[in-house]
Amino acid sequence: MRPPTFSAVVITLNEEEHIRECLEHLRWCDERIIVDMHSTDRTRERAEGLATKILLHDPIPYFDAARNQGIEAAAGEWILVVDADEIIPPQLAEFLRGHVATTVDVAGIWIPRMNYCFGLQLPHIGDFPNYQLRCFRRGTGLYPADRIHCAPQIHGGTAYLPIREGAWIIHSRRNQTIADLVRKWDEYAEKEAGTRLKSGPVSRGPLDMLWAPLSAFRFRFFTKRGYRDGTAGLVLSMLFAFYRFEVEAKLWEAGGYGGQWDRDVGRLRSFPRTVWSLATHLGRRIWLRRRSRRDGQNAT
């Protein structure tokens, strides 16, 4: 049986530090297509000789959609979407090729990913196996044009690649500092707030502004057991919490720094009052969620 052909699609914007290593680990693919959003560093220069095609795309806020240009230009039977700061190790390449060779009725494959930060493997706060829908048959899927960090919309069934030691995407930015993370997540917060503005209220009040970061910290540090990743788990849990707070703050900013919530903030004038307000806020959220589920069940 003839082995299936693969086209790797990598989107770039000022990725000179990572792009060469990323492409080196994609040599096994029949095509390696770069979609570059007009990098101002040496990204395209460093990709030459390893990339089979280098396409240009205007910079856009929802950069996932820029991958569509590379997908539509690909000739392989299977599309493999890779970020510039990701590595496809040999174990994954071999396992994936063998898996798709025996796949008949599946259009897309979810691949496990191991997240690294500060040079450390972080399986807990990194949410391993952190499955990503990155491999799909050509002609079956594209990315939405108005969302960030989303999966492609696939026409057909999907399957999950079994977990095998070392056979996962390695997501790691070497030498990344906390300042780098803060700058990147500030950009993400700006984009997420912009998306929220299109479909919901500008701000939902001070309790949501407090609850969002607290809930994010609880989820990352306790529910996902980020504490098992040591100090890195604590630091990242706090940064995730700040990211959620920043999204809510940017929504308030988009509303013109309005004072409609000032009286509510004034009621939170002591720690016990704040705790009580958050507890009742949580109770209301739980009640609304249960009512929504009950209404959905009654509707069916």
Q: Is the dihedral of CA 27, 65, 19, 90 positive or negative?
A: negative
Calpha distance 2→196 (Å, rounded): 47
Residues, the chain, total? 300
Q: Are strands 120-121 and 141-142 parallel, antiparallel or unpaired?
A: unpaired
**Cα 76 from Cα 4, distance rounded (Å):** 8
Is pTM beyond 0.85? Reply is no
What's the gap between Cα 122 and its chain centre? 16
Spatial distance between the Cα atoms of 41 and 63, rounded to a whole number of angstroms: 18
- The CATH code for residues 6-171 is 3.90.550.10
Nearest-angstrom CA–CA distance, 229 and 115: 12
The b-or-e profile of 118-156 (16+ CB within 10 A means b, else e) is beeebbbbbebbbbbbbbbbbebbbbeeeebeebbebee
Q: What is the pLDDT along the chain (300 residues), one digit of tens a residue?
A: 688 999 999 999 999 999 999 999 999 999 999 999 999 999 999 999 999 999 999 988 778 888 999 999 999 999 999 999 999 999 999 999 999 988 888 999 999 999 999 889 999 999 999 999 999 999 999 998 877 778 999 999 999 999 999 999 999 877 789 998 999 899 989 988 888 888 766 667 888 899 999 999 999 999 999 999 999 999 999 999 999 999 999 999 988 888 888 988 898 889 998 888 888 888 887 877 777 777 666 665
Residue 24 burial by CB count (10 A; 0-12/13-18/19+): exposed, middle or buried? exposed
CA distance 69 to 35: 7
- The number of helices, as runs of H, and strands, as runs of E, in the chain is 9, 13
The full set of domain ranges for the chain reads 6-171, 178-266
